[in-house]
Structure 1
Amino acid sequence: AVVNALVAASGQLGLPHRTGIIESKDAFYAEIRAGSMPLADELTRRWSAYRQAGVLASEMEAAALFVIAAWKGLRAGCVVQVSDNQYAGHHLGPEIPMDDTIRVAVEAVRGLIRSDLMGPND
């Protein structure tokens, strides 16, 4: 429901979006500077496998939020704003301004609230 609400909010606001799999990690530099890390070959192979599997982005918090939400019986979603392409070696800058990204999240929550208030049969 949360992903659908985020997609709908992006559409309502006329903003671009992508949906897909992201990878959560606990070591920021293990990915972007794998060559300088212990186990560099393993880290490089791991990210290559993620890319081959269609992983769109990497971040550091979402997995914990999804686990806690599932444990507590709550809904969760994730909005990420990509700013760098480590493989091309350059800073991309956000595709849309951060304020617009926040507007998508807020509108999605509003949509979920409206849906909850209307109930399952409305």
Structure 2
Amino acid sequence: MAFDKHASPDTKQYHIQVARGEVGRYVFLPGDPFRTDLIASFLEDAKLIAHNREHKTWTGTLCGEKVSVTSTGMGCPSTAIAVEELIKAGADTFIRIGTAGPVRDSSDCERYDGVIVTAAVRDEGTTTHYIPIEYPAVADRHVVEALSRAALAKKLNYAEGISQSKDSFYGEIDPDCSPVSGLLKERWRAWQRGNVMCSEMECAALFIVSSIRGKRAGAIMNWGDMNETIQTACDAVRLLIGQDKANSEQGG
């Protein structure tokens, strides 16, 4: 199938292979296609919609509302593609669910269950193709609040803070392998001194694309316990569904 930028919104999107009506307005975004299966198990009546390249999509329900999960693949380029095409298919609220490494201090893994990301350092190249680097990559405050409330209700200790979104996994875990190791280490120390909480590879693209398209996005990252994180994200979406219904009734 050839790419057609003028294709109807009802046409299946080129990369994720879903059409309008096949996904809900609320979408969970893991990086790993195989993790979509686990997340889908927390939805009601989940059905596999499409799997093309790194993008695998399930759709089910929460609180009677259609909710989907689509994998982004690793990194900002494929994340931006997935979010762009999900928006064209009708989605408007995104929660990234993933794992991250601590930046500020390795003891964060012991003190916290993970991080609810409020903003992202744009230490990657994709988002500069959207808007100048001075534009901040910020999560939607309502999504952040819903995630925080959901975590608190479960008595989980998620920090709220900034993530570093990078392009090179090995630049983080083995900077000495790079000819610019000195620069990488210097920048890492800057993130630590600036109280950046964690490091991952997708939040910046998610926040930038969502912001400039007028959509909502947030992210919840953990150090390893994925089930608790998924449950927290699902509870956050339940809160958002309730708030959105109340706002709609008041507006009507």
How far residue 32 of structure 1 moved from its aligned partner, in angstroms, is 1.1
How far residue 38 of structure 1 moved from its aligned partner, in angstroms, is 1.4
More strand by share: 2
Unaligned runs of 5+ in 1: 83-93
| Aligned-pair Cα RMSD in Å | 1.5
> Using the alignment, how far apart are the partners of 2:233 and 2:179 within structure 1?
38
More helix by share: 1
Counterpart of 1:15 in 2: which secondary structure? Answer: coil
Aligned to 1:85: none
Aligned to 1:109: 237
Aligned to 2:173: 32
Count of residues in correspondence between the two structures: 109
- The correspondence for 2:185, drawn from 44, 47, 68, is 44
> Using the alignment, how far apart are the partners of 2:231 and 2:153 within structure 1?
11
Bigger CA drift: 7-16 or 54-63? 7-16
What TM-score does the superposition give when structure 2 sets the normalisation length?
Answer: 0.42
How far residue 10 of structure 1 moved from its aligned partner, in angstroms, is 0.4
Aligned to 1:65: 206
Bigger CA drift: 48-57 or 7-16? 7-16
Unaligned runs of 5+ in 2: 1-141
Q: Which has the higher contact order (CA 8 A, sep 6+)?
A: 1
Q: Which runs of 4+ in 1 moved over 3 A?
A: none
The one-letter amino acid of 1:35's match is D
What TM-score does the superposition give when structure 1 sets the normalisation length?
Answer: 0.84
Aligned residues with identical type, % of pairs: 39
